Amino acid sequence: MPKVAVLIADGFEEIEALATVDILRRAGITVNMMGLTGNLVTSRSGVRLYTDARLIDTDASGYDAIVLPGGSQSVDTIARHQSALRMIEDFAKRGKLVAAICAAPKILAQQGLLRDKRATAYPGLEKLLDRPRNDKVVVDGNIITSQGPGTAIDFALGIVEQLAGKAAAARVRQEIVA
């Protein structure tokens, strides 16, 4: 079964992070929420969360995908974290799935990973994208992008479809009445 790392930093958007983790786990996908340096992170709304692992202690080679939830503070923190940036770039270059929602596609754009790719992001950030789309979720090769908290379920189901297939995504969609 696929294994996914979800990078979580203070200021993360809890709907995007937790809906994605929940839906992936419902599909039978192994998910590790990773704090950048610590295990306790606080969301943009003050929700405290204990992560499964710390990025600084993790060997990323066993993961099939990386997910970047939004939240402007979290995105800015990840964008300055060299280990996280190396991991994202390595996944993209190896053809592993890289998924970013809300403000997080900004990280991919800054790394040049969206060059000539169709992508979407939180409204107002499309100026950072080479080929912006107004769709809730955009898949272009091994990159998945999405617009924001209201698109989190569709985003997560898109990840499930890419990693576990259409049947798994359809099963979870029916289970959660989406």
Supply the mean pLDDT for the chain.
97
pLDDT for 112 beyond 90: yes
| Mean pLDDT of the region 37-43 | 95
Scanning the structure block, which residue is given the tokens 């080479």? 130
Residues with Cβ < 8 Å from 168, sequence gap 6 or more?
Answer: 27, 28, 160, 161
> Which pLDDT score is estimated for 84?
97
Q: What residues does each domain of the chain span?
A: 3-175
pLDDT for 136 beyond 90: yes
CATH fold of the domain at 3-175: Rossmann fold (3.40.50)
pLDDT for 115 beyond 90: yes
pLDDT for 28 beyond 90: yes
Instruction: Tell me the catalytic residues.
Output: 102
- Other C-beta atoms lying within 10 Å of the C-beta of residue 167: 9
- Other C-beta atoms lying within 10 Å of the C-beta of residue 156: 32
CB 10 within 8 A of CB 41: yes
> Which pLDDT score is estimated for 29?
98
User: Binning pLDDT at 50, 70 and 90, where does residue 37 land?
Assistant: confident
SS3 160: helix
* Chain centroid, CA 90 distance in Å: 15
